[in-house]
Amino acid sequence: MTKQLIISVSDIPIGAKKRFEVGGNNVTVYHLQDGWFALDDTCTHKGASLSEGQIIDGEMIECPWHGARFDIKTGEVKSLPAVHGLKTYQVVIEGEEVSVEIDDDCCKDKETPDGCCGGQCGCDL
């Protein structure tokens, strides 16, 4: 099932980020010079909240616990100790409205490194 987060463009200034809880998912929405992006908030290393980290060079988020860095546009790991990337979500801007599609189809088995069962639960990956 897909859930939708809707906020206003005025909620997050350029260069800032904000965490939201949507249907059990913690998602951080970033407003960069290059646009809007949304990623899982939980660091794939040991679970820190990335919304408490620093935005580096306007394109990476640095984990506040051990310093892993992730590309905000792609979720890709840019530096250790994390080795798994972050899930990204589609962001659509319409006028003053920012909507984020939260795909909730997976069981979100927390035993796996990236928070996804890989289809083993029978979910629609």
Q: Give whichever of 3 and 78 is closer to ligand FES, judged by the CB atom.
A: 78
Q: Give whichever of 19 and 66 is closer to ligand FES, judged by the CB atom.
A: 66
> What is the rounded CA–CA span in Å between residue 76 and residue 24?
23
Cβ of residue 64: shortest distance to ligand FES, in angstroms? 7
Cβ of residue 62: shortest distance to ligand FES, in angstroms? 9
Contact status, residue 9 vs residue 32, Cβ threshold 8 Å:
no
Interface residues with ligand FES (CB under 6 A) are: 43, 45-48, 63, 65-68, 81-82
> What is the rounded CA–CA span in Å between residue 78 and residue 39?
15
Q: Give whichever of 29 and 63 is closer to ligand FES, judged by the CB atom.
A: 63
Q: Give whichever of 35 and 47 is closer to ligand FES, judged by the CB atom.
A: 47
Query: Angle at the Cα of 27 (from 26 to 28), degrees rounded to 5?
Result: 130
Q: Of 10, 8, 17, 67, which is closest to residue 41 (Cα–Cα)? A: 17
